[in-house]
């Protein structure tokens, strides 16, 4: 019998039980490696884990998810298991770009409510574009637009063969994640995080996340472009920890 794919969690910053827990959900086509800069942050005050989905990094040979419902259900199961193992620890969730939409879908499937959820460099569900059936060249042009990947790597055929199938599947996830109405609504506060130099997500677009929670929103601008969760890791973590400590 073929088993259903499931996500796993990779620890970036280990910490003992009882300290706050932070879950990171990567952007389209990415895995925990996109948050490798977090590994260099001081350890001990917060336990940080990142979602690793099939078709990413060390799981490249596995079939990736291409539907948000199945992916979100697996993310929700993985997060709930980790939370159960640390029952006294408050937790936060940060989703980067498409990862924020996946995280929202996971959270509405969970009984646990985070202290705070950060939608980082992310369009809310009702503003998600439909990329149709993109060619490899279309996907490469999309990656060039978002930045973060050297051009010589993008044009490498071996890179394309390994990376683009996962990205194509994530664009199918994005198409399936578009929602016109915020039902059900999140119950937690949302930090709307934007990169000060991000050409892909405007402040006004990101602000529309306010419609997707009953918990209220706050806004934070970080130095950097679309990939500020990696380039401004220390500031992003500090923002999450501050909300973990001050939000009832």
User: For the segment 159-203, what is each residue's pLDDT rounded down to a tens digit?
Assistant: 667 777 778 888 899 999 999 998 899 999 999 999 999 999 999
Which pLDDT score, from 0 to 100, does residue 22 have? 98
Question: What is the mean predicted confidence (pLDDT) over 67-77?
Answer: 97
pLDDT class of 1 with cuts at 50, 70, 90: very low
pLDDT tens digits, one per residue of 108-166: 999 999 999 999 999 999 999 887 677 777 777 777 766 656 556 666 667 667 777 77
Question: What is the mean predicted confidence (pLDDT) over 11-28?
Answer: 94
Question: What is the mean predicted confidence (pLDDT) over 223-234?
Answer: 96
63-72, 124-133, 236-245: segment of lowest average pLDDT: 124-133
Residue 195: closest CA among 235, 162, 165: 235
Residue 80 has pLDDT above 90, yes or no: yes
Which pLDDT score, from 0 to 100, does residue 3 have? 52
- Write the CB contacts of 92 (distance below 8 Å, at least 6 apart in sequence): 20, 21, 22, 23, 114, 115, 116, 117, 118, 240, 243, 244
Residue 15 has pLDDT above 70, yes or no: yes
Torsion, Cα of 47, 48, 54, 57 (10° steps) = -120
pLDDT class of 5 with cuts at 50, 70, 90: confident
> Which residues does residue 91 pair with via DSSP β-bridges, in sequence order?
21
Within a 10 A sphere around the Cβ of 113, how many other Cβ atoms? Answer: 12
Which pLDDT score, from 0 to 100, does residue 36 have? 95
Which pLDDT score, from 0 to 100, does residue 115 have? 96
Residue 222: closest CA among 240, 209, 247: 240
Question: Quick check: 7 and 76 in contact, CB under 8 A?
Answer: no
Residue 238: closest CA among 187, 191, 188: 191
């Amino acid at each position: 019998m073929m088993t259903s794919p499931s996500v796993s969690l990779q620890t970036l910053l280990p910490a003992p039980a009882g300290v706050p827990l932070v879950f990171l959900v990567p952007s389209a086509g990415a895995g925990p490696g996109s948050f490798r800069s977090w590994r260099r942050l001081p350890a001990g005050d917060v336990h940080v884990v990142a979602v690793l989905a099939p078709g990413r990094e060390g799981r490249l040979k596995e079939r990736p998810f291409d539907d948000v419902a199945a992916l979100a259900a697996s993310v929700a199961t993985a997060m709930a298991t980790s939370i159960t193992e640390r029952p006294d620890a408050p937790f936060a969730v940060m989703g980067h770009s498409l990862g924020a939409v996946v995280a929202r879908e996971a959270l509405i499937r969970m009984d646990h409510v985070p202290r705070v959820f950060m939608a980082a460099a992310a369009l809310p569900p009702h503003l998600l574009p439909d990329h149709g059936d993109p060619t490899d060249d279309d996907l490469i042009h999309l990656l060039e637009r978002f930045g973060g990947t050297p051009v010589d790597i993008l044009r490498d055929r071996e890179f394309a063969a390994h990376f683009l199938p996962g990205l194509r599947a994530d664009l199918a996830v994005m198409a399936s994640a578009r929602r016109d109405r915020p039902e059900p609504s999140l119950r937690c506060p949302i930090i709307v995080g934007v990169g000060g130099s991000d050409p892909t997500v405007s402040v006004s677009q990101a602000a529309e996340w306010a419609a997707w929670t009953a918990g209220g929103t706050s806004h934070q601008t970080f130095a950097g472009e679309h990939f500020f969760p990696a380039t401004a890791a220390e500031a992003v973590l500090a923002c999450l920890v501050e909300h973990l400590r001050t939000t009832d």
